[in-house]
Amino acid sequence: MEKENKRLAVLVGCNYPKTRNELHGCINDVLTMRDTLVNRFGFDLNHIKVLTDDGSASILPTGANIKKALDAMVDQAKPGDVLYFHYSGHGTRIPSLKPGRPFRQDEAIVPCDFNLITDVDFRQLVNRLPKGASFTILSDSCHSGGLIDKEKEQIGPSHVTTEISGTLSVTDNIKPKAIPFESILQHLSSLTGIYTSDVATHLLELFAADASLKFRLPPLEVNLFESLKPDEGILLSGCQANETSADMMNPVMTGGKACGAFSNAVEMVLKKHEAQLSNREIVMLSREVLKEQGFEQHPCLYCNDENANATFLCQPAAQNTTL
C-alpha cells in the first residue's frame, strides 16, 4: 500500500511579553491557524509544532529553536509532502552584507531572543527540499516581502494586478510589527558590551554557531545559496519589504480578540471561500480585506510561476465544497 504524503507545520508566535516590544495578537494568530490546518487542510495535530513565548508551549521561539524545528521538518520531508511555516511576530531590515550592495537592506524575523533569522536562512531551507515537496511560508511580520532570498516576485511592488490604497483608521489599537535596526543594535550591544554598528559581531558573540548563515559565512559563500532554478518555496508575506504589518490589540472586526491584520485577513478569506483557493487568490483576496479595513500594508507572493496558481497548502479535494 502506498504511503500517504505527510503534511507538516511549524507555527511560531512571538508576543515579547513584558518588554518594550510587546505585541498582543501573534500567539492568537498561530493557535487559530493550528485549528485551521487540522480542520480544513487535513494536518495531523501530532505533525504540528507550536513555539510561543507566553509560557504555554514547551519550546521557546528562540532563533536556535525555530531553526531546529524548521531543519527537522525539512530533514524528514519526502517528495509530495506539504510543509508549512507560519510566523507572527516582529520583523526588521538589516544592511546587506553582499558585495556591491552597500545600500541594500535584507529581511529578517526577530525571535524572542533577537537571534535574527534572515532571508539567507530561508533560502537555504528551500534549497534543501526534496524534489516534489513544497514549503509554504506565511510571515505576518514587518518587512516580510522577499523573506526567501531570490524567490521570484509574483505579487509585490513590481507585479500588482490591482491598485491598493488605504489609510489606517484605527491607530489607537494598532502597533506595527517592526523593530528598527538601531533598536536591534542597541539591545544586542547591551548584552555583549561591544559598541559597534556591525550586527554580525554581536550575533556571533552571543549565539556563535546558532547565528544566521548570513553572519557566519563569507559573503561570497552566502551567494552559493541563491536560487539557480525554479524551486518549491512559496512565501506569502504580510507586507512589502519597505512596509510594516499591523498587530491589532483590540480590533472591533474580531470581537476584541487581538490578532495580526494579515493573519486575520487570511482567516477571513478562508472562512468566506470554502472551495480551494490558489496562493495568488489568497494574497489578492487578503489585500482586498485589508484595504476595506483601512490598512496600508500590501501582502505579497513570492514563488515560481506554477506555484502562484497552485492550491494553497494543496487543500485536499475531498474537503472542497462549492463557493
| CATH of residue 63 | 3.40.50.12660
Span 131-146, average pLDDT: 95
Mean pLDDT across the chain: 89
Q: Which residue has the higher pLDDT, 2 or 213?
A: 213
Helices (runs of H) and strands (runs of E) counted in the chain: 10, 13
Exposed/middle/buried for residue 6 (C-beta within 10 Å: 0-12, 13-18, 19+) = middle
135 part of a folded domain = yes
169 part of a folded domain = yes
Q: How confident is the model at residue 309 (pLDDT cuts 50, 70, 90)?
A: very high
3-class state of residue 134 by DSSP: strand
Q: Which pLDDT belongs to residue 99? A: 59
14 labelled catalytic? no
Q: Which pLDDT belongs to residue 224? A: 61
Q: Give the span between the Cα atoms of 92 and 319, in whole angstroms.
A: 37
Q: Per-residue pLDDT for 159 more than 80?
A: no
Q: Which pLDDT belongs to residue 7? A: 97
Q: Per-residue pLDDT for 165 more than 70?
A: no
36 φ, ψ (degrees, to nearest 5): -65, -40
User: Given 24, 86, 90, 143, which residue is catalytic?
Assistant: 90
Cα first-last separation, the chain: 34
Q: Which domain holds residue 177?
A: 7-319
For residue 88, list its beta bridge partners: 13, 140
Q: Which pLDDT belongs to residue 34? A: 98
2 part of a folded domain = no
For residue 13, list its beta bridge partners: 52, 88
Q: Which residue has the higher pLDDT, 226 or 183?
A: 183
Q: Give the span between the Cα atoms of 96 and 107, in whole angstroms.
A: 9
Q: How confident is the model at residue 19 (pLDDT cuts 50, 70, 90)?
A: very high
1 part of a folded domain = no
Residues 6+ apart with CB under 8 A from 201: 192, 194
Range with the lowest mean pLDDT among 47-51, 90-94, 154-158, 297-301?
A: 154-158
150 part of a folded domain = yes
Per-residue DSSP letter, 132: T
209 part of a folded domain = yes
Q: How confident is the model at residue 162 (pLDDT cuts 50, 70, 90)?
A: very low
Q: How confident is the model at residue 138 (pLDDT cuts 50, 70, 90)?
A: very high
Query: 285: closest CA among 266, 271, 303?
Result: 266
Q: Give the span between the Cα atoms of 127 and 51, in whole angstroms.
A: 24
Q: Per-residue pLDDT for 100 more than 80?
A: no
Burial 215-246 (b: 16+ CB within 10 A, else e): bbbeeeebeebebeeebbbbbbbbbbbebbbb
202 labelled catalytic? no
Q: Give the span between the Cα atoms of 34 and 39, in whole angstroms.
A: 9
Q: Per-residue pLDDT for 125 more than 90?
A: yes
Q: Which pLDDT belongs to residue 98? A: 65
Tell me how many domains the chain contains.
1
Residues 6+ apart with CB under 8 A from 318: none
Span 246-268, average pLDDT: 88
**Cell match 536562512: residue?**
121
> pLDDT of 283-308, one tens digit each?
999 999 999 999 999 999 999 999 99
Per-residue cell: 308 = 502562484
Look at the pTM and tell me if it is higher than 0.85: yes
Span 187-199, average pLDDT: 95
User: Given 112, 142, 259, 314, which residue is catalytic?
Assistant: 142
Q: Which pLDDT belongs to residue 285? A: 98
